[in-house]
Amino acid sequence: MAKVGVFVCHCGVNIAAKVDVKRVVDALKEMPEVGFAHEYKFMCSSPGQELIRKEIKESKINRVVVAACSPRMHLPTFQKALASQGLNPYLVSMANIREQCSWVTDDPEMATQKAIDLVARQIKRVVHQDPLEDISVPMTKTALVIGGGIAGIQAALDIADGNRKVILVEKSPSIGGRMAQLDETFPTLDCSQCILTPKMVEAAQHPNIEIRVNSEVKKVDGYVGNFEVTVEKKATYVDAQKCIGCGICQEKCPVKTVPDEFNADLNLRAAIAIPFPQAVPAIPIIEPDYCKKLIENKCGVCAKICPAEAINYDDVPMQETVNVGAIVVATGYREMDPAVYTEYGGRKYPDVITGLQFERLVSSTGPTGGELKRPSDGEIPKTVVFVQCVGSRDESKAHAYCSGICCMYTAKHTMIYKHHVPDGQAYVSYIDIRAPGKTYEEFVRRAIEDEGVRYLRGRVAKIRRLQNGQYRVYTEDTLVGRAVHIDADMVVLASAVEPQEDAVGLAQILGIAYDSDGFYTEAHPKLKPIETASAGIFLAGACQGPKDIPASVQQGSAAASKVLSIFARDNLVKSPQIATVDPTACTGCLTCSYVCHYSAIEEKEFGQRQVAEIIPGKCQGCGACVATCKGKAITLAGFSDDEIYEEIVSCK
Amino acid sequence: MQVEKEPKILAILCKWCSYAGADLAGTSRFIYPANVRIVQVPCSGRVDPIMIFKAFVEGYDGVMVSGCHPGDCHYGTGNYHARRRIAVARRLLEFVGVHPDRMHFTWISAAEGKKFADVCSRFTDELKALSGTEKTLARKELAT
Amino acid sequence: MPRQEVLEKTKISDRMFLFQPCVGSNKYPGLITASIEFFRKLGIELVTSDDQTCCGGFLTFTNVAQPTSTMPAVARNLAVAEEMGLDILTLCNGCHTFLTEFSHFMNDRPPVKNVVNVILSMIGREYKGSQDIYHSLEIIYKLKERIREKVTRPLNGMKFATHYGCHYLNGFKKTALDDPHMPTIMEELIEAMGGEIAEYGENRTCCGTGLTQIIINKEDLSLPHTKMKLDDLNAAEPDAVVVVCPYCLAQIDRMQQKLNYRGSGKYRVPVIHLVQLIGLALGVDTVKLGFDAHAISFRHFLKKFDSMHAKAEVHSG
């Protein structure tokens, strides 16, 4: 028989000024379930909690109702008080007579009536509450990081430094990501490679990190603590164990027609190549679509000259399943193809290039060896127009969102340009300058004031090639209110940040949400920016939304700390307020599995038939399946039908 | 003169957004009618239409269900399930002769304390205006 | 790149109603005779009607009349073709934009259509809104392969610059066939007939006629604008510039003469409407193409054209 102890709080005058607490206590004492009812000035204070502890010990009550503020505020406080006396913490319920009663009701009489009703309902409810035990799930303390850009590298290093194993999966032949392609970084103009390469090497040499390049995640099963991930390594035709990275194959390969992806397709490279000089690992791969040996079984030069006999033309893709406990998704972004902007030439004009191509043009490892020459004729451009917001903030052509990094990298580009061509003139066409980071605004001012870059506020209408090889950029200066045109030698389009091409496909493999643009959605935009809606999967870097390097590194570290905090426990502890299926009542229709957002419901055999089963590790306790179940075979602990209907029924 | 009865309202609120919104209404001291009773559910997707019918059977004059705004659901899609179920429940209510406007479905975020208080006040007024119309509705249904 | 979905919707019928442009009829009659002639060669009969009046766009573009007062006139013209059960083919960007835009406006708004029909009933007509309205460029583009087969005098060795015109490029969005910022269909047609393309930067720039029209007549604004376009055009050295609108034709053609008179340079690029060019390639009698009506002489152009063919004959003979 349930014996409920009731404690009514005054909350100073917050409750007592409107609600006649004495009357409430007297009214409740009449209820058969109630063992006793007390009032106290501040239930949440130490003496208040002591009162509960004392009564549990002395009066042998087995259920508690505290009538005070919102359970969102103090339910954990009172649960701890119960637990300290050996009573199950899920046997307490709170009546919210402050936020829902004393603070929102004018008339003291009505407030008192309502308070009695609210507490009485919780007394009826608490009788139906069952003791619950926290769920303990064992886990594999290895993390998987998808994407070897700066965010992924940072996450991997932090987890590895926390003495946990990390598997770093990278799609391309080398880690480093977009940052490896950059020349200098804002707002300090330090060389991107110089700060990135040590981190790449550190990751490669870390005993806790296993780097898997040329690999992609194909399948993810399981749940937090126990993921089973299928990783596919594509055929590279070079044995990584034997290769010594001398690069002689790259020199001798007769096929030099492969667009160099690392140089943003500005030049052509060999069919077998190390992606870039600082690549980690520095092992070449063969492009099967270009290699003569693989297409028509001719040539074979690389195999002949390789001193380590590392070339293997019979290589095939290989799949392997790994067990991990947590996943960090850091797949990064790609630069939008500005081809849809036909008014800007739509990639037809050779000297209208993108921001990333400009980075490669000025980089010492780029196609021109660091000399700024325009692609069409190799001349040094004396006038360059930088166009911002190409594809960003333009819903009609591309994306409604702001790409965030372009204002800053354009300012950086203008400075690099001025350092390469001191007598040249740079123009920037912008809508607004968005530079909210630390020392970012100062950086832009430096470009404008010290370097003499001319910023014109307005959108570029069109770009046309003139007969003399220049490009006429038609734009406006809205601050002066005039249409202007500039004859430029080169135009750089700050093309939008876009999710990776296969972002949605990977999201579907992982079972995480993505927005209409294809960026991955965090669990809460403010309070859970790292987590996804799926437990144990975290986001880092630009796959979640456009980000610069500092923000990506921050998010990488944040994701690592989330992973480490999961791994810090022996077992995974979950809230016991989850759904369970009564297999004897389940008809096996599995309608519940269609509404489950977490794919937590699976089919299992029970007796001679199939029934639904909820995986405790995956269930988050939303209850969508409970409302869906026609046979009422599913119960949600803590919010069972008994508890909710009791609240509805016991209305006066 | 007939004394106007205060209509009783059951508000089924999700734990993450709407319940927090109701808390904010309290913290901000927005006064709303005292006849509102709140039941907390983890998510509006937990709301079974039978809860709504049960409430009418038990003598409530109106039932309000509120979840997070579309796209903001803590559980991703629970509020969409709720929206569909309630659209069906509404037609069923009409069928059994309860005016469908006695059931109100809304989105209230954790920041919308004012909205919660406003919705409660407005819903109370609407229910007062509705009192006595059901019988006619039921008779009309029978006639056709 | 042409939009496939628009291209698929374009219907070719054996008989079509040729909507005569006023600038075409009174300044460049060659456009009408050329189209009738070469469409016949392609197996399409073009029908004209003396009942048809000006499209009325002129009055609206220049803010002389309310759109509501020109709408019955538009509906009447459309009804003339509709009574014959024919789709409309226009030769002018203005006619095309104006007819499509107003027909969509009326078809989407039944109350407006009803009012228009009340007015039309006074003269015993009714506008139903059943026919399609096409620009000649769209029909011609759809017939590209048929034209390629029928070419008797290919344009080999000749260089052409193109000019699409604002009301075609930035006209009615629902029916626009090509990308307004990078149109290619006229180039494809010229290449299909063996011609070469002279690229120039001001390709998409307005010809300037909007400011020259009788009522506005701001020649001081339009002349420098047209001059800018012509200067860039001259630098590309085309044998002729191809247009698809009689207004653009008139502006680029006659303003060259005007600029020459004022001593602002030497301009003599012949301006040719696409239908005249196709007529030429398909072997329509040169007299019927009406080059004599053009202000800039076609003598050099035709001489070069003939000499190219003479050369070709020598080679083949």
Record: contact A627-B31, CB cut-off 8 A:
no
Tell if the CB–CB gap between C201 and A343 is shorter than 8 Å.
no
DSSP-derived 3-state class of residue A126: helix
Chain A positions contacting chain B at CB under 8 Å are: 70-72, 96, 98-101, 103-107, 110-111, 113-114, 117-118, 121, 513, 524, 533, 577, 595, 597, 620-624, 626-628, 636, 638-639, 641, 644-645, 647-649, 651
Query: How far is residue A578's CA from residue A92's CA, in Å, rounded to a whole number?
Result: 18
- Residue A274's alpha-carbon distances to A28, A281, A652, in angstroms, are 79, 9, 77
Same domain, C122 and C186: no
Q: What are the distances in angstroms from CA C34 to CA A221, A530, C18, C154? A: 70, 69, 12, 17
Judge: C181–A467 Cβ closer than 8 Å, yes or no. Answer: no
Which of B26, B38, B60 lies closest to A98 in CB terms?
B26
Give the whole-angstrom CA distance, residue A511 versus residue A29.
Answer: 51
CATH code for position C55: 1.20.1050.140
Question: Quick check: A622 and B40 CB within 8 A?
Answer: no
Check whether residue C83 and residue C167 sit in a common domain. Answer: no
**Do C201 and A472 make contact, defined as CB atoms within 8 angstroms?**
yes
Task: Give the pair of three-digit tokens for residue A637.
Answer: 């602990």
Give mean pLDDT, residues A279-305.
92
Give yes or no for C202 touching A (CB within 8 A).
Answer: yes
pLDDT tens digit string along A469-517? 899 999 999 999 999 999 999 999 999 999 999 999 998 888 788 888 9
Rounded mean pLDDT of A367-377?
A: 92
Establish if C124 belongs to a structural domain: yes
C216 and C303 share one domain:
yes
For strands B36-41 and A92-96, give the pairing: unpaired
User: Mean pLDDT, chain C, as a whole number?
Assistant: 88
Query: Residue B3: which pLDDT band, with cuts at 50, 70 and 90?
Result: very low
| Of residues A80, A68, A81, the one with CA closest to residue A12 | A68
Cis ω before A187 (30° cut-off from 0): yes
Q: Residue C214 sits in which domain range?
A: 150-316
> Residue C18: left (phi > 0), alpha (psi -120 to 50), or beta?
beta
Cβ distance A20 to A67 under 8 Å? Answer: no
Residue C23 lies in a domain: yes
pLDDT digits (tens, 9 = 90+) for C6-30: 888 888 899 999 999 988 888 899 9
Q: Considering the domain boundaries, does residue C6 fall inside one?
A: no
Domains A142-229+318-332+502-567 and A575-636 share a fold: no
For position B1, what pLDDT does the model report? 37
Q: Chain C partners of A341 at a C-beta cutoff of 8 Å?
A: 181
User: Residue ranges of the domains in chain B?
Assistant: 9-135
| Whether C290 and C256 share a structural domain | yes
> Which residue of C182, C187, C206 is the best one to mutate when testing the A interface, meaning the one whose CB has the most A CBs within 10 A?
C182
DSSP chain C: ---HHHHHH----SEEEEE--HHHHHH-THHHHHHHHHHHHTT-EEE--TT----SHHHHHTTSS-HHHHHHHHHHHHHHHHHTT-EEEES-HHHHHHHHHHHHHHHH-HHHHHHHHHHHHTTT------S-EEEHHHHHHHTHHHHHHH-SS--TT-EEEEE--HHHHTS-TTT--S-TTS--HHHHHHHHTT-EE---GGGGS--SGGGTSTTT--HHHHHHHHHHHHHHHHHT--SEEEES-HHHHHHHHHHHHHHHHTTS------EEEHHHHHHHHTT--HHHHTGGG-SS--HHHHHHHHHHHHHHHHHH-
The Cα–Cα gap between A358 and A375 comes to: 10
Q: Are residues C200 and C290 in the same domain?
A: yes
Is residue A542 classed as helix, strand or coil in its secondary structure? Answer: helix
Alpha helices in A3-104 (DSSP H): 21-29, 46-59, 71-84
Who has greater pLDDT, C172 or A193?
A: A193
Whether A396 and chain C come into contact, CB under 8 Å, resolves to no
Measure the CA dihedral B41/B44/B50/B54, to 10°: 50
User: In this predicted model, what pLDDT tens digit does every residue of A545-601 receive, in sequence order?
Assistant: 999 999 999 999 999 999 999 999 888 888 899 999 999 999 999 999 999 988 889
Domain ranges of chain A: 4-126, 142-229+318-332+502-567, 248-305, 334-498, 575-636
CA-closest candidate to residue B16, choices A573, A134, A621: A621
What is the helix (H) or strand (E) element at residue B141, kind and residue range? helix B134-143
pLDDT of residue B75: 84
For A342, the closest of C179, C200, C203 (CB atoms) is C179
Would you identify the CATH topology of the domain A334-498?
Answer: FAD/NAD(P)-binding domain (3.50.50)
Token pair 């073009």 in the structure block, residue = C46
Task: Kindly give, in sequence order, each residue whose CB lies less than 8 Å from that of residue A194, ignoring residues fewer than 6 positions away.
Answer: none
Q: Are residues C64 and C89 in the same domain?
A: yes
Give the end of a domain, one of C102, C136, C170: C136
Q: Do B26 and A104 touch (CB under 8 A)?
A: yes
Q: Which residue of A has its CA nearest to C203?
A: A464
Residue A357 to residue A337: CA distance in whole angstroms: 11
Q: Which of chain B's residues have a Cβ under 8 Å away from the Cβ of A620?
A: 75
Q: What is the average pLDDT value for chain A, to the nearest integer?
A: 92
Inspect the interface and report whether the beta carbons of B40 and A118 lie closer than 8 Å: no
ipTM attached to this prediction: 0.91
Distance from CA of A193 to the nearest CA of B (A): 40
Q: How many domains does chain C contain in total?
A: 2
**Closest-CA residue of chain C to A462:** C181
Q: What average pLDDT does range A87-95 have in this prediction?
A: 94
Task: Label residue A484 exposed, middle or buried (CB < 10 Å: 0-12, 13-18, 19+).
Answer: middle
Give long-range contacts, CB 8 A cutoff, 24+ apart: A14-19: A14/A98, A14/A102, A14/A103, A15/A68, A15/A97, A15/A98, A15/A101, A15/A102, A15/A115, A17/A102, A18/A101, A18/A102, A18/A103, A18/A105, A18/A108, A18/A111, A18/A112, A19/A97, A19/A101, A19/A102, A19/A108, A19/A111, A19/A112, A19/A115
- Lowest mean per-residue pLDDT among A438-442, A547-551, B56-60, C33-37: B56-60
A110 at the C interface (CB within 8 A)? no
Instruction: Please judge whether C204 and A462 are an interchain contact, meaning their C-beta atoms are less than 8 angstroms apart.
Output: yes
Length of chain B as a residue count: 144
Residues C220 and C296 in one domain: yes
Beta-carbon separation of B46 and A639 below 8 A: yes
DSSP A342: G
Same domain for C130 and C156, yes or no, is no
Q: Which residue, chain included where needed, has tokens 């219907």?
A: C11
- DSSP state, residue B5: P
CA C67 to CA C109: how far, in whole Å? 14
Residue C224 at interface with chain A, using a CB cutoff of 8 Å? no
Q: Is C228 on the interface with A (CB under 8 A)?
A: no
**Which pLDDT score is estimated for A616?**
86
A chain contacts of residue C204, beta-carbon cutoff 8 Å: 462, 464
**Which helix H or strand E contains A223, and what residues bound it?**
strand A215-223
Could you tell me if C289 and C161 lie in one domain?
yes
Q: What is the pLDDT confidence band of residue C121, given thresholds at 50, 70 and 90?
A: very high
- pLDDT at residue B139 tops 70: no
Q: Do C182 and A348 touch (CB under 8 A)?
A: yes
Residue C5 within a domain:
no
Tell me what pLDDT residue C215 has.
60
Q: What average pLDDT does the segment A246-264 reach?
A: 92
CATH of domain A4-126: 3.40.50
Chain centroid to CA A242 = 37
Residue at a domain's end among C136, C169, C189: C136
Cα angle: C45, vertex C147, C197; to 5 degrees: 130
- Which 3 state secondary structure label does DSSP give A579? strand
Q: Which amino acid is at A276?
A: F
Burial C28-39 (b: 16+ CB within 10 A, else e): bebbbbbbbbbb
Which residues of chain C does A348 touch, with a Cβ-Cβ cutoff of 8 Å?
182
- ∠ CA(A323), CA(A324), CA(A327), 5° rounding? 140
Is residue C101 domain-resident?
yes
Query: Using 50, 70 and 90 to split pLDDT, how confident is the model at A47?
Result: very high
Yes or no, beta carbons of B10 and A114 under 8 Å apart: no
Contacts of C202 in chain A (CB under 8 A): 464
CB A347 within 8 A of CB A339: yes
pLDDT at A524 over 80: no
Q: What whole-number distance in Å separates Cα of residue A220 and Cα of residue A233?
A: 15
**Residue A562 to residues A616, B115, C316: CA-CA distances in angstroms?**
21, 35, 80
Class of domain A575-636: alpha beta
CATH code for residues B9-135: 3.40.50
For the residues B126-132, what does the mean pLDDT come to? 85
* Residue B68 dihedral angles phi and psi, to the nearest 5°: -70, 160
pLDDT at position A54 over 70: yes
Question: Does residue C280 belong to any structural domain of this protein?
Answer: yes
- Hey, are the CB atoms on A627 and B42 less than 8 Å from each other? no
- Is there a contact between A467 and C236 if contact means CB atoms under 8 Å apart? yes
| C-alpha of A299 from chain center | 46
- Among chain B residues, the shortest Cα distance to A108 is held by B34
Asked if the A142-229+318-332+502-567 domain carries CATH number 3.50.50.60, the reply is: yes
Structure tokens at C28: 């460049």
Question: Is the Cα dihedral A450, A452, A457, A463 positive or negative?
Answer: negative
